[in-house]
Amino acid sequence: MYATSLGDDGAELRPLEPWHAEEFLAHLDRGRTFINRFVPFGSQAADTDGAREVLQRYADRRAAGTAALHGLWLRGRLVGGVLVLNFDADNGTCEVGCWLEPDATGRGLVTRAMRVLIDWAVEARGIHRVEWVAASGNEPSLNVARRLGMSRDGVRREAHLHHGVRHDLEVWSVLAPEWRAARTARADH
């Protein structure tokens, strides 16, 4: 097993695998209402078997090269995660996303983890365009896109039905040359 340190606060990025089902379920239960305000992530994980099935689906997608799921641990406790979706190496595109339980917010965990994930997508896998899609009302998520130096491409009006409410979805992106320039600028400071 490997872990990537995200700083000196004990934060780590690690693969999230089916054998983490009990820990994943406990994490979702701590933050389910908060996590599911805008997206139904993990809603099928109502018990350990459901959690294992969700994690297995992502493990299968990782094996197929179409997605990847990583957990965020803070001082040994699973508190959230980041993922790559719609990974299309042939076209050089992918989408990234995240989730956190409430107690883990405001620490920069997602921004730090996403930098690792986008570096991997751009440099190791040759992705040219990385997208971020979030409900217009999900300001914390949109703020991460801003901190990552993404550009707002547009709004897909009332494109997402969640909890009986239609939400606008904002599409943000960063292109590989922009990402590399921003990384260089960060390193120079």
pLDDT tens figures, 125-174: 999 999 999 999 889 999 999 999 999 999 999 988 888 889 999 999 99
Query: What would the two tokens of residue 43 be?
Result: 């809603």
**Cα–Cα distance measured from residue 102 to residue 90, given in angstroms and rounded to the nearest whole number:** 37
For residues 152 and 49, the answer to whether their CB atoms sit within 8 Å is: no
**Rounded mean pLDDT of 31-52?**
83
Give the model's pLDDT for residue 170: 96
Q: Helices 48-64 and 21-35, interaxial angle, to 10°?
A: 100
Task: Compute, in degrees rounded to 10, the torsion defined by CA atoms 28, 58, 9, 32.
Answer: -10
- Give 179's contacts (C-beta < 8 A, 6+ positions apart): 118, 119, 122, 130, 149
Q: With 90 as the cut, is the pLDDT of residue 46 above it?
A: no
Confidence of residue 1 (pLDDT cuts 50, 70, 90): low
Between residues 189 and 16, which one has the greater pLDDT? 16
pLDDT of 42 strictly over 80 = no
- Predicted confidence (pLDDT) per residue in 28-41, tens digit: 989 888 887 877 77
> Which domains are present in the chain?
4-188 (3.40.630.30)
| % pLDDT > 90, the chain | 70
Which residue, 83, 60, 84, 86, is CA-closest to 72?
Answer: 83
Answer yes or no: are the C-beta atoms of 35 and 59 closer than 8 Å. Answer: no
pLDDT (tens digit per residue) in 174-183: 999 999 998 8
Question: How far apart, in whole angstroms, are the C-alpha atoms of residue 88 and residue 186?
Answer: 28
The amino acid that residue 127 corresponds to is I
Does residue 99 have a pLDDT over 70? Answer: yes
User: What was the pLDDT predicted at 162?
Assistant: 84
Please compute the mean of the pLDDT values over residues 96-110 and round it to a whole number. Answer: 91
- Cβ 97 vs Cβ 82: under 8 Å: yes
Tell me if residue 41 falls in helix, strand or coil.
coil
